[in-house]
Structure formats: C-alpha cells, structure tokens
Amino acid sequence: MIAVPSPDSIQSLTSAGFKVSEGAPPHLWFLNLNIHDGPTKSLKVREAMNLAINRAGLAHDLLKDTVSPALSILPPGNPAVVIDKAAYGYDPAKAKQLLAEAGYAKGFSTTLTTSVSGSGQILPVQMAEYIQQDLAKVGITVKIDATEWISYLTKWSKGMGPGTSMAQMSWGMSAPYWLYILNSSTLQAPHGANVSQYSNPKLDALMGRAATAKDESTADGLWKQAVAMAQADRVISPVVNDKAPYAMTSKVHGFVSPSEEWYDLAPVSIG
C-alpha cells in the first residue's frame, strides 16, 4: 500500500495494476486573506481574488483529479457545509470588473506565504504558482514566499504582516466547530488560528448559539447560517479538498477510505 502517492504517479500506478482508493476526508487547502493591510482590506478585492482562481483547472491539470475544487470554507464530511458556486467559481472577467470598482483597475502587487512541503500540504509551491498565474491574468502580481514546514507554522501562527495578502494552510475537521477555531475574534493570531485576525460580532454571537445548542439539528442549522455569514466576508478563500488517494496491490482487501483524517487497518487483509 502507498499512502498519498504523488498526483503524477497515479496513472502509472493504475497501469501497473494498483487499485486506488479515494475518500472525502475533512481536508481544506485554503488561503487566509489579510483584511487589515493593503488591497485585501476591500471586500470587492477579496471577492475578485476568489473569482480569479481556477479551482477546477488546478484540480484537474496540476493535481490530476486527486483533489476536488473547494466551494465552501468547511471541508467535506461536515454537516454544516454551504456550497457557494457564485463566490468560488471561476470568472476572471467579473474579477477584473470588481478590481476596477475597488480602485485597482491596473492591479497591484502582493505576497503569498506558504510552505515547501508539510502535512496535508499536497504540492504547496506548485499550487501557489498555479494561483500566481491565475491572479496575474487579472492584473495581480504575486510574490511567493515559501518556507520549510515547521518554520512556516511559526510564521503562519503570528498572522500576516504588511505587504502579505495571502497566507496558505491546509487543515480541517468533520465538526462544524472548526469554523469557530478559524474565525472567532477571541482566537485571533497570535493567540489562535484566526490568522486573518477577523472580527465579526454577529458571527461570534451566532457561532456561540450554535456551539451551545441542545440538539444536533438546531446546531447544524445555526452553523450553516454562520458558514454563510463568514463566506459572505470572503476572509478565507477555499481552494481544493484532498481526496487522500491510497494505492494498493490487488492482494490488499478490506481497506476503506473514511470521511476522516484517519483510517482503520484492523479489517484489512492481504491474500
């Protein structure tokens, strides 16, 4: 069994007789946008940047369909996912229009930070370069600042400084509470994972109601409202969801790719 083979090896592995198992784990490869400095302080600019990213092209052309385009800031396997194709579809013409309306008809220059590798990061530099090319098509010039994984975690956790509009990360949970971890005003960097240092009192109150609801149905409904509210502000830009492929020979039986970031080898046999 080969865990998470590289995207460009999938075809050769299947040609060699390997089976490939894919799942829908709660994984999101995403960008935090800087709402306190530079052009991304503008909602229209954030909307434009989201529309400028060709998620389907990145998933198919670069990653050979080992991922799926992300259309929600909550990952798959989550009961509060709210799909928003209008927000996260590919529309470079609309992106240019929004940039012009925001006062950036000639575009602007900025920096995207990422790692060179890491847990769940897939191919971070190559993916950042793909996004760099997409944003260049609408007039946004992006410098990529890539750092070794452990050093990057330290940098990422401190939040974004001046001149940096995007900080990349990959993560996820099947519990809607993950929305709180990424967006709560009480967890702003450097004190938590809200590295955009986003603060929305209405969202905080709604997430508080969702977290303390006494039945699952009510909680899920409130979380969905909270997801829609957070997505309207475009502070987090979802890019792709990893399918977490596993390649195995025909001798391997009983392996299941669960909708979680783990798997169980107890029922697996070889024969």
72-96: pLDDT as tens digits? 999 998 999 999 999 999 999 999 9
Count CA atoms closer than 13 A to 222's CA, side-chain side.
20
**Can you tell me the mean pLDDT for 84-113?**
98
pLDDT (average), residues 15-26: 93
Q: Which helix (H) or strand (E) holds 206?
A: helix 201-212
Q: What's the rounded Cα separation, in Å, for the pair 145 and 174? A: 30
Task: Report CA-CA distances (Å) from 114 to 8, 29, 133, 153.
Answer: 21, 11, 16, 9
Is residue 81 helix, strand or coil? coil
Q: Compute, in degrees rounded to 10, the torsion defined by CA atoms 128, 133, 137, 141.
A: 70
* Paired residues of 170 in beta bridges: 29
pTM equals: 0.95
What domains can you pick out in the chain, each with its CATH number?
Answer: 2-173+235-250 (3.10.105.10)
Q: How much is the pLDDT for 214?
A: 95
With bands split at pLDDT 50, 70 and 90, how would you rate the model's confidence at 260? confident
Q: What is the DSSP string of 83-107?
A: --HHHHS--HHHHHHHHHHTT-TT-
What helix, strand, coil percent values describe the chain, rounded to 5?
A: 40, 20, 40
Spatial CB neighbours of 134, under 8 Å, sequence gap ≥ 6: 52, 53, 54, 57, 58, 92
- For 92, 133, 173, 228, the CA distances from 83, given in Å and listed in that order, are 20, 25, 17, 9
Give me the mean pLDDT over the 232-247 stretch: 96
Alpha carbon 228 to chain centroid distance?
Answer: 16
